[in-house]
Amino acid sequence: MTGEDRYTVVSADCHAGADLLDYKPYLESRYHDAFDAWAATYVNPYEDLLADTADRNWNSDRRLADLEADGIVAEVVFPNTIPPFFPSAALMAPAPTRAEFEQRWAGLRAHNRWLADFCAQAPGRRAGVAQILLNDVDEAVKEIRRTKEAGLTGGVLLPGAPPGSGVPELYADVYDPIWAVCEELDVPVNHHGGSASPPLGEEPAARAVFMVETTWFSHRALWHLIFGGAFRRHPGLKLVLTEQGSGWIPGVLEMLDYYHGRLVNAAAKAATAESKFGAGLAESMGKGPSEVWRDNCFVGASFMRPHEVPLRDRIGLDKIMWGADYPHDEGTTPYSREGLRIAYAGLPRQEVAAMVGGNAARVYGFDLPFLDTLAAEHGPLVDEIATPLPEIPPRATSPAFARGGSVRVW
């Protein structure tokens, strides 16, 4: 929050990436011929990346102007465009086979190099999230170190490990070196919605089932890391769950606490049919699920919806980070002020300030006093956000404005 009249807004969920051919200079030269052959026949599957607005992903000046006009002065930058050798955007692409790994890993490293340069075009205003693959943990650790040194402050994007992916589940201790380096470097592990679903096909029913299930598959990272003991072994580890809703969190934590208590108690009793399920769990986990959430976890609550806001105390006011999801159609731009009003009108000023910027600044290491100076010109007025939204903008496409939004997702 800045001065007496404006909020400092940090979007904890934005997306960017290079245009397809612009990745080539960031690839190691030994992959250039293979890249030329791949790019010559590649057909982009996403209409929004072919439209005249696609350059919002890589045009730094346009992007800054769009976000400032929307009241946003800083952003956490997740990937969006197609990296080299991928069939689709990395968030949605299936885990690579052994044969695909080398080229796709080179493609993600090229994206990370491009992203470091992109963030450097707006110093202090972009926290870039580095991409890794889970096929080679040692290589992932090296890349996390390299990208932090290169200026990417958004931490690491944890890929999903859906059933059939061919990589170990996220609770596996094989990933311990990744948790260790993120704790050491004090960068968050981010898990973004849509990145953990198994392939379902293209039938109408499959697409509907994907919409229903995709957030649940993303939520799995939470209980995998909790029950896997990652936070006991690495108490400084930070996990951020982004663009997968927030209203589900209190109920899921209650469920996880229930199973934790039930299994630990069963393991302490004489041999029963259930005791084997809790064997060793107390020792491997340490704290219970709600304690882990309190100490280690955050939510990138993109375009937080009105029905989620009354749960903010149960989620944790210091956990919630609002996001615009720029430049996606489901994002709030250019109606982010209206999105903030529909969610936060009438709330105490300090609570709003934390959720729209203060928490994200703390988690991702933004210099809040510096951002305050920008917000003094571009931030939304406190009085404006305090005023209930009388009418939904007719051209708004974000679920933030969806009617009938009382459904709690998972």
In a domain, 246, yes or no: yes
pLDDT tens for 96-120 read: 888 899 999 999 999 999 999 999 9
The count of domains in the chain is 1
| Contact status, residue 364 vs residue 76, Cβ threshold 8 Å | yes
Domain range for 217: 9-401
- Burial call 12-47: b when 16+ CB within 10 Å, e when fewer: bbbbbbbebeebbebbeeebeeebeebeeeeeeeee
Domain membership of residue 99 (yes or no) is yes
Amino acid 410: pLDDT: 35
Residue 406 lies in a domain: no
Residue 288 lies in a domain: yes
Dist CA 189 CA 75 (whole Å): 16
Q: Would residue 113 count as lying in a domain?
A: yes
* DSSP annotation string for 228-288: TTHHHH-TT--EEEESS-STTHHHHHHHHHHHHHHHHHHHTSSS-TTGGGGTTHHHHH-S-
Using 50 as the pLDDT threshold, list the residues of the chain that sit under it: 2-3, 404-410
pLDDT in tens, 331-367: 999 999 999 999 999 999 999 999 999 999 999 999 9
Helix runs in 297-408, H state only: 312-315, 336-344, 349-353, 359-364, 368-378, 382-386
pLDDT at residue number 46? 87
- 15 within domain boundaries: yes
CATH of the domain at 299: 3.20.20.140
Q: Is 387 exposed, middle or buried (0-12, 13-18, 19+ CB in 10 A)?
A: exposed
For residue 4, the model assigns a pLDDT of 64
CB 363 within 8 A of CB 298: yes
Please write the tens of the pLDDT for every residue from 1-24: 544 699 999 999 999 999 999 999
pLDDT, residue 407, reads 36
Q: 103 in a domain, yes or no?
A: yes
Q: Which of 148, 157, 86 is nearest to 116 (CA)?
A: 148
The verdict on residue 1 lying in a domain is: no
Task: Give the pair of three-digit tokens for residue 274.
Answer: 């259930």
